[in-house]
Amino acid sequence: MRHLLLRRLAAIPLTLVVISVLVFLATEVLPGDVARQILGREASDATVAALRQELGLDRALPVRYWDWLVSFVTGDWGTSYTLKVPVRDLVFERLGASLLLAAFAFVLLVPVALTWGVVSGLYHDRPLDRFLSVTGLALAATPEFVTGVVLLVVFAVTLRWFPAGAQAPPGASLSLRLEHLVLPAVSLVLLCLGYVARHVRASTVASVRSPYVRAAELRGASRVAVVRRHVLRNSTVPATSALGVQAQFLLGGLVSVELLFNYPGIGALLLNAALDKDLPTLQAAAMVLGLLYLLISLGVDVAYRLLDPRLRLGVAA
């Protein structure tokens, strides 16, 4: 385990350098001129050229990349071109909001997906299993903005059970903030539910057919005890891997959900920065998301090894 941690932690800086190159090159190919975007179409060429020089955009690409990388590593992330605020404060503020939404969705997802998958596996090839499997696949195939619109129309506009917007008023309590997050979080849960439940279902079916479960049943153990002691425990390992993949996927799904529910998260910030060619904000937000993605991947690997004794002991699965 220690070797795994050291190897993966040592790979993170190198991976971040690769990400930084890709991010910087990607921002360079965005259409339009940054200075012209900031000053507007009516600005003279001389004014645009002066701003380009002030922003350092007239320098060679490798020089600009190196200066940006050094500044980023040392904590100087610059100022947003459009919002005129420090990029570091802006990114961390929006990241905190997105993490709250993603964490809330994750807390809802885990028990629902586990229950969904275990029930489906226990009723393998029966009508209930077919219904849950088809429904899960349909939900996984439906884009999050479609389910989000349906949830808004049904639960916010028609029934008025939840607020339409995800952003609570300033000074709101945690319960009120979570109430505003219910609909966007459910949109994310519905997107990830089918994938996780399928993994749990498959491991449940394998566990139910295993010799130790049959032996427990022959010893007179109740069905509830067998499920709690054997099926759920063995379903946790594949569920951990699937949940880790979905946690990374949630970061991508945040963009459309945050835009649909007008939520000030890092996904919306990233998209608006790309549209406005706000390069310091775009580059910093992409780097932070890349680091977060790597840390989630590391956490999943560690959890997977902790839960699976075969991996801890170096036994082939």
- Quote the CA–CA distance of 146 and 260 in Å, as a whole number: 10
Say if residue 105 is exposed, middle or buried (CB neighbours under 10 Å; 0-12, 13-18, 19+). buried
- Quote the CA–CA distance of 15 and 13 in Å, as a whole number: 5
Say if residue 224 is exposed, middle or buried (CB neighbours under 10 Å; 0-12, 13-18, 19+). exposed
95-311 — its CATH code? 1.10.3720.10
Judged by DSSP in three states, 79 sits in strand
Percentages helix, strand, coil for the chain, rounded to the nearest 5? 80, 0, 20
Annotate 180-239 with DSSP letters as a single string.
HHHHHHHHHHHHHHHHHHHHHHHHHHHHHTSHHHHHHHHTT--HHHHIIIIIHHHHHHHH
Instruction: Assign 314 a pLDDT band (cuts: 50, 70, 90).
Output: low
Instruction: Assign 308 a pLDDT band (cuts: 50, 70, 90).
Output: low
* pLDDT per position as a tens digit, 205-257: 888 888 877 777 777 777 778 777 777 777 777 677 777 777 767 776 677 88
Q: Which of 203, 192, 58, 213 is nearest to 121 (CA)?
A: 203
Confidence (pTM): 0.80
Domain boundaries, the chain: 1-74, 95-311
Q: CB of 281 within 8 A of CB of 87? A: yes
Q: Where do we find the tokens 């190159």?
A: 21
Find the radius of gyration of the CA atoms of the chain: 24
* pLDDT per position as a tens digit, 143-192: 888 888 999 999 999 998 998 888 888 888 888 888 899 999 999 888 88
Instruction: Assign 312 a pLDDT band (cuts: 50, 70, 90).
Output: low
